[in-house]
């Protein structure tokens, strides 16, 4: 696999490889190592995307079934985008980190080979870009029914470490211009903006959500825009 450019000391410790069961990502700083394999094509993930009653799907849908396009401003490992695309939405996924982007691009390519995933993959468009740049540079007439944000959560007080994939995201990435993205998203989403938050945290800004969908540890704050209020 072509190695992406490595621009920072953290990125210099990253090795990406093609494995039989997915894309291997290994980070090492000389003392500590973190390793995991990224793939959309395995039974555990099929169960996840096929689970019924998922709050993320409820939050990004409406009764009139008029939400078809979703813009995901915080792609990450692409789990949420994949779930939304599997539920039938056309998803544009943006990710600012070129390392994370290159992993996702390869995993999407791999998943395309599985005929039961290919329709879902074909509904996803991935771009390596800062979402604020994307929103600012695209024509303001370009609208999405729903705009989705899942910013990195603040460090947890408990000593329990998050899963390895999340630990790696925390090392490699950060929230960039997230509040500005949120404000601009409110002017670009025709129906709603959805923000994933830790269950007990405050909303992202002083604006209060119109709807909230809760799960065990996270919640989805829904901000209705013009069409969503009709
Ligand atoms: C918590 S992760 C998202 C996880 C994702 N929802 C998933 O299902 O894997 C947040 C991601 O947002 C990305 N990000 C943060 N600010 C961004 C921005 N302004 N533009 C694009 N991506 C951004 C980070 O690089 C990180 O990969």
Tell whether 34 is covered by a domain. Answer: no
Q: Does residue 148 sit in helix, strand or coil? A: strand
Tell whether 75 is covered by a domain. Answer: yes
Distance 201 CA to ligand 1 centre (A): 18
Q: What CATH number is attached to the domain comprising 145?
A: 3.40.50.150
Whose C-alpha lies nearest to ligand 1, atom 2? 76
pLDDT, residue 13, reads 86
Strands 90-95 and 124-128: what pairing? parallel
pLDDT, residue 156, reads 67
Tell whether 1 is covered by a domain. Answer: no
3-state helix, strand, coil in the chain (%, to 5): 35, 25, 40
Tell whether 194 is covered by a domain. Answer: yes
Tell whether 18 is covered by a domain. Answer: no
Q: Which of 81, 39, 43, 89 is nearest to 62 (CA)?
A: 89
Tell whether 131 is covered by a domain. Answer: yes
Q: From the CB of 76, is ligand 1 less than 6 Å away?
A: yes
User: How far is residue 113's CA from residue 108's CA, in Å, rounded to a whole number?
Assistant: 9
pLDDT, residue 157, reads 65
Calculate the CA 214 to chain-centre distance.
18
Q: Mean pLDDT, consecutive 10-residue segments, the chain of 230 residues?
A: 59 89 92 93 96 96 93 98 98 97 97 97 98 91 94 75 87 93 95 97 95 96 87
Domain that holds residue 207: 52-229
Q: From the CB of 145, is ligand 1 less than 6 Å away?
A: no
pLDDT, residue 30, reads 85
Name residue, tokens 């995991």.
36
Task: Say if CB 36 and CB 161 are below 8 A apart.
Answer: no
pLDDT, residue 10, reads 66
Tell whether 3 is covered by a domain. Answer: no
Tell whether 17 is covered by a domain. Answer: no
Q: What number of helices (H) and strands (E) belong to the chain?
A: 9, 10
Q: Does residue 47 sit in helix, strand or coil? A: helix
The residues pairing with 220 across neighbouring beta strands, listed in sequence order, are 196, 213
Q: How many domains does one find in the chain? A: 1
Q: Which of 165, 163, 127, 169 is nearest to 22 (CA)?
A: 165
Whose C-alpha lies nearest to ligand 1, atom 17? 176
pLDDT, residue 7, reads 61
Strands 218-224 and 189-198: what pairing? antiparallel
Distance 91 CA to ligand 1 centre (A): 15
* Polymer length in residues for the chain: 230
User: How far is residue 37's CA from residue 20's CA, in Å, rounded to a whole number?
Assistant: 10
């Amino acid at each position: 696999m072509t190695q992406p450019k490595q621009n920072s000391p953290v990125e210099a410790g990253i090795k990406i490889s093609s494995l039989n069961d997915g894309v291997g990502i290994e980070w090492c700083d000389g003392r500590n190592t973190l390793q995991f394999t990224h793939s959309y094509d395995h039974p555990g993930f099929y169960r996840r995307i096929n689970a019924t009653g998922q709050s993320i799907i409820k939050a990004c849908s409406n009764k009139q079934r008029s939400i078809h396009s979703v813009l995901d401003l915080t792609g990450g490992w692409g789990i949420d985008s994949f779930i939304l695309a599997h539920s039938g939405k056309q998803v544009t996924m943006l990710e600012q980190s070129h390392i994370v982007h290159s992993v996702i691009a390869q995993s999407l390519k791999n998943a395309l080979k599985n005929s039961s995933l290919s329709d879902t993959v074909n509904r996803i468009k991935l771009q390596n870009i800062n979402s604020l740049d994307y929103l600012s540079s695209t024509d303001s007439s370009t609208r999405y029914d729903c705009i989705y944000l899942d910013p990195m959560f603040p460090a947890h007080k408990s000593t329990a470490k998050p899963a390895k994939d999340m630990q790696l995201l925390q090392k490699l990435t950060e929230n960039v211009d997230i509040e500005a993205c949120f404000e601009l998203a409110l002017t670009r989403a025709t129906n709603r903006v959805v923000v994933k938050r830790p269950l007990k945290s405050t909303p992202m800004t002083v604006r209060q959500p119109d709807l909230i969908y809760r799960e065990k540890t996270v919640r989805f704050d829904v901000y209705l825009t013009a069409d969503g209020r009709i």
